[in-house]
Amino acid sequence: MAAALRIRTTPPRLVDVTAVAPQLAPLARTATRLHPRPGSPTPYDSSVGGPLLWPADAPWPHCEGPHEWDGWNEILSPEDVRQRRRIRAAVANRPGGDPPGTRYTPEELAIEERIKAGRPWPEGPISMLPVAQLYVRDVPLLRPPKQAEADLLQVLWCPFDHPAQPETALFWRSAATVTDILDTPPEPPAIQFPGYLPEPCLLAPEQITEYPNIMELGKELQRQLEDWRRWQTAGAALDSFDNTPYPLDSSDTPYSKDFYNELYTGRMSVAPGWKVGGWTRWGLTDPLPRLCPSCGTEMDPLLTIASGEWNSNYPDWIPDEDRARSLSSTTHPEPHNPTMLDLARGYDLQLHVCPVSPDHPHIDLVQ
């Protein structure tokens, strides 16, 4: 039996951006923010890092490599990572002195020393790790092309860089056909980075509206979004925006045009965190074509795997239900990163799929 989904509510945007630039209206897309939060998912739940509804008679995916060690990172087993997280969560939430190192028990310090010793570099194929499992009943946007019977998406990855991100694998299933579940899937003997092991989380899917990154807009729309008079006409109380990224300047406009660019990009267009659908995030690079390797069709954003659920510069993306805790808590995992993933030093991994056929290969994009 699936767990009851929890509720997370993104606050409304501080202004209707289509009143600022009406040409944005036809560019609106629905996205589903997944809002992962720590929990104990079952194979019958939509989850991040939880057990999969995997057929007992189906082979578990492995990555053939090559897997190359850079010589710098600790090589830990998944259980090493989990044990270290449990210890550090206990230490973080334990009253005691500063620095936090004084709060460790002798037993915890001994375990930390053992974990620091690391594991041997693994040889041969590597078992892939479950990353996400999404049921269409929870995320209706997940309808694969020409697979009407598929109602379950499973995402796994290899916990080693290829060359600078994990190698991902996608599987679409009909949940009703899985009657005998694999109870104990294999785990890799080691992982390259602790941030590649997701903490088990349940989801609270929420549909929102997104608009394209400003770099994907035409010059005329960009100019409209940089015009302070349009924001005033739309009723934007600019002095109410906290954490403004740019100060007042001495020109005849209340703020520099860069302020309005940042206002739209950071707070009006693409939501942070885990999500399905919507628009592609950009920032690490300028927008690039995302063409299907098989047929050349423009590919669609499927799933964004995020290193964090929000950025402290833009607290208005924090769900109402998390706001008080997120601004004051020191608990682990931290509220802004419940999955404890860290991809490419804090970036996101976005999976894109071909709308023509689910048999065409997907592409990964780090932004």
Q: How far is CA 159 from CA 36, 121, 128, 168, in A?
A: 20, 13, 7, 9
Q: Rg of the Cα trace of the chain?
A: 22
Burial class (CB in 10 A: 0-12, 13-18, 19+), 153: buried
Confidence band for 236, pLDDT divided at 50, 70 and 90: low
Q: Which of 43-47, 77-81, 242-246, 301-305 has the lowest mean pLDDT?
A: 242-246
Please tell me the predicted confidence (pLDDT) of residue 249: 41
Kindly indicate the confidence band of residue 162, based on its pLDDT and cuts at 50, 70 and 90: confident
Lowest mean pLDDT among 35-39, 73-77, 319-323, 326-330: 326-330
Beta-carbon contacts of 313 under 8 Å, excluding residues fewer than 6 positions away, are 243, 245, 266
Q: Is the pTM of this model over 0.85?
A: yes
From residue 115, give the alpha-carbon distance in Å to each of 22, 107, 160, 223: 56, 13, 19, 54
Position 6 scores a pLDDT of 81
| Distance, CA of 96 to CA of 94 (rounded, Å) | 6
In the block, residue with structure tokens 């997104």 = 210
Give mean pLDDT, residues 166-174: 94
